[in-house]
Amino acid sequence: MFAVALVAIAVTMLLALTRAFKGPTVFDRVLALNMFGTKTVLLIAVMNYVSHGPDFLDLAVLYALLNFVGVIALLKFVREYSLKPEVEIE
Amino acid sequence: MGELWHLPLDLVSWVLLLGGCFFCVVGGLGLIRLPDFYSRMHAAGMTDTLGAGLLLVALAFQATHWMEIVKLFFILGFLVFTSPTAAHALARAAFTHGLKPKLAEPPPDVALAAEQTDTIAETVSCEGGVSSAS
């Protein structure tokens, strides 16, 4: 049953990657990347129950946070063409 | 006593898991097939809420230790807070960048304003844009 979930998540990741390659605008690519990251979190969480190895759930928590920070940073870069803070320091 | 609970818990977990898989794949198909950016955001949001939510709750039913449940709900909580934030920032960035939603027919106020002078048409379409953004 976990194999079904793994296959479904992998298929969804492939579809998201297709949109990331095709995407006409940069926002489509960011959207697809965000979804790809979320699906990575789910994939790692399901992997925790397939392989009884190390604890993958900590990695999933970490990926969830990194994904969010990455998307926000990318959007700031797209909007303002730089990662500098908005407040001018005198 | 512990063995007695395994079957119904597994059953609930499998149903939720299959539901989560269904929403994930449907969201992926929507991301490919929907016509414009804003409708694709809807598909992606569906996988983030229903797909991820159902899958993580299904995994929580399979947990053997209470710490796993805590971690799974941590992940779920992060996703619940971060994915709408990311979607909001993405939609705002796209809208301020000038990306317009694709409509089946032009909005009525813009079509009406097109018959009048250019300046009025501009103000009305701006108002329509602001109201649809908020």
Model ipTM value = 0.81
Shared domain check, B48 and B16: yes
- Distance (Å) from the alpha carbon of B116 to chain A's nearest alpha carbon: 33
Q: How far apart are CA B40 and CA B42, in angstroms?
A: 5
B79: nearest CA partner in chain A: A64
* Contact status, residue A38 vs residue B82, Cβ threshold 8 Å: no
Q: Quick check: B37 contacting A, CB < 8 Å?
A: yes
Q: Is B114 a residue whose pLDDT tops 90? A: no
User: Which residues of chain B lie closer than 8 angstroms to A27, CB-CB?
Assistant: 37, 90, 93-94, 97, 99
Q: What is the pLDDT of residues B14-60, one digit of tens each?
A: 999 999 999 999 999 999 998 888 999 999 988 988 999 999 999 99
Mapping DSSP to helix (H, G, I), strand (E, B) and coil, where does residue B100 land? coil
User: Quick one: B82 and B54 in the same domain?
Assistant: yes
Answer yes or no: do B12 and B70 share one domain: yes
Structural domain including B40 reads: 3-101
Same domain? For B116 and B81 the reply is: no
Residues B70 and B112 both lie in one domain:
no
Chain B residues inside the 8 Å CB shell of A67: 82
Global pTM reads 0.78
| Number of helices and strands in chain A (H, E) | 3, 0
Do B95 and B107 fall within a single domain? no
φ, ψ for residue B102 (rounded to 5)? Answer: -85, 125
Total number of domains in chain B: 2
The verdict on B9 and B69 lying in the same domain is: yes
Let me know whether B133 and B116 are in one domain: yes
Kindly state the percentage of chain B with pLDDT values over 70. Answer: 78
Nearest chain B Cα distance for residue A75, angstroms = 7
Please check whether residues B18 and B79 belong to one and the same domain. yes
